[in-house]
Amino acid sequence: MLPGVLALIGRSLRTDSRSRQAHLIRLGLLGLIYLALWLAIWRQSSFGAPGLRFFYGIGYLNLVVMSLLGISYFATSISEEKEEEALGLMMMAWISALWILFGKSGGRLFQAAVLLILQYPFALLAITMGGVTQDQISAAFVALAAYMMLLFGLGLVCSTIGASNRLAIGWTIVGLSAYVLVPLFAVGTRATLIRIGVAGSGFPSDLILMLVDKVAQVSVFQRMGIILTTGFDESKLSLQVISNFSLGLILCLLAWLLFGSYALRPVTAATSRGMIARSRGRMRWFSPGRAWTNPFIWKDFYFVSGGLGMVATRCLFCVGLAVISLFTDFAINGRLNADISFYQLFLSLAVAIDAGRVLARSVQDEIRERTLSSLLMLPRTSAYVVYSKFAGALLGWLPGLVVDALVSVTPHEGWRNFH
């Protein structure tokens, strides 16, 4: 059994070392670190504590990169074997479920950990630049390591229960969104309870306030904001570190328990209809209807991007995220300030992930169903077919792009006056 596990880990490491995409990601991360260093040096004459600003860029850059790794890297460790129908062969080689999970995902966790560890010497440069201490750097990397463990467990369990890479990535995005939004809503709720004078009024109110406060402390985004504050002097083992690491281990255990129920389920090759409704009853507005003049745009808009149902879902997501962000800002400050950076950062990340997902699926579905060669034989140029498919896939992605653009160009004074 052990040679089989080592073979799986070795194969994962060799595949990653030979992947051009993995090396480009590392090179891009290194370039962004140097960019953050250059910006900190360039602005040190205008703002104090250049080291803190440099480390601020490194910290939040790692949060974005780790979130992308959790969605695209950890969430496909088992589901890719399901699509290739190779899990049955592994189990026939007398490799247990635990060792399959460890062998397929252990190499990916090792690569992500190495990527984080190698940044530590660069982060120490912030101490010499001034404004940050070694305790802050150590606390930030401990918090990032716990967050990485949480993403690893979430991706592993979603990859175990997902029948395909697309479903596994989708469930991971849902779980990550809940991890970000629930503590953010808890921050606003806690500030509201304190503002209306609930604190100290008795047993039920104090218990609710304590629970809400604990939920808010689970988020690594809230923890990084505390660590990157001047004068930070707290323990490295915070509630965020303990809860994220523990939840990651629990999710890994859950993936092991669910492996036998979901691993050998047959993978259906048919294209999912998603939120596409039939042209009957009250849901006929969400049905595809007749093909448009350009059938490529019509097909990808409805069957790749999700049609009008997913457009409405994306709009509700953007509006809900805005409501939670504005509620939190109003609860803390008593009015709507100009600080919409968190909303814009998370929305931009969500829009980028959604765009990449629909574009990848636009071509992947044709390759998986072996219809791409037939499409290219039609009396249309290859560029016309491909760009039409991309246009149809991105039609359903427009709501996030429009809201993101409006947030970017809206003057901050407009947010201040909206109260």
pLDDT in tens, 116-153: 888 888 888 888 877 788 888 899 999 999 999 999 99
How many DSSP H helices and E strands does the chain contain? 19, 0
| pLDDT band of 417, cuts 50, 70, 90 | very low
Q: What amino acid is encoded at 172 in this protein?
A: T
- Per-residue pLDDT at 17: 72
Burial 136-172 (b: 16+ CB within 10 A, else e): bbebbbbbbbbbbbbbbbbbbbbbbbbbbbbbbbbbb
Over 60: is that where the pLDDT of 186 sits? yes
pLDDT tens, 2-40?
566 677 777 777 777 777 766 777 777 777 777 777 777
> At residue 74, what is the residue type?
F
User: In the predicted model, is pLDDT for residue 322 greater than 80?
Assistant: no
159/322: higher pLDDT: 159
- Confidence (pLDDT) at 147: 94
What's the confidence (pLDDT) of residue 228?
83
Which DSSP string do the residues of 129-187 spell out, in sequence order? HSS--HHHHHHHHHHHHHHHHHHHHHHHHHHHH-SSHHHHHHHHHHHHHHHHHHHHHHH
pLDDT at 5: 66
pLDDT at residue 401, rounded to an integer: 76
The predicted structure's pLDDT at residue 154:
93
**317-325 contacts, C-beta under 8 A, 24 or more apart:** 317/350, 317/400, 318/347, 318/399, 318/400, 318/403, 321/181, 321/346, 321/347, 321/350, 322/403, 324/181, 324/184, 324/185, 324/188, 325/184
Mean pLDDT of the region 390-418: 68
Q: What is the pTM of this model?
A: 0.76
Q: Which of 193-197, 252-256, 301-305, 374-378 has the highest mean pLDDT?
A: 252-256
Average pLDDT over the chain, rounded to whole?
Answer: 78
- More confident position, 201 or 54: 54
Residue 144: the pLDDT is 93
How confident is the model over 260-298, as pLDDT tens digits?
887 766 555 444 555 554 545 555 666 777 888 888 888
Give me the amino acid identity at 80.
E
What's the pLDDT score for residue 273? 52
**According to the model, what pLDDT value does residue 39 have?**
74
Most confident of 69-73, 132-136, 245-249, 382-386: 245-249
- Indicate the range of 46-50, 236-240, 244-248 predicted with least confidence: 46-50
At residue 213, does pLDDT exceed 60? yes
Structure tokens at 247: 């939840």
Q: What is the pLDDT of residue 413?
A: 45
Please determine, for residue 90, whether its predicted confidence score (pLDDT) is greater than 50. yes
The pLDDT of residue 414: 42
Of 87-91, 242-246, 315-319, 385-389, the range with the lowest mean pLDDT is: 87-91
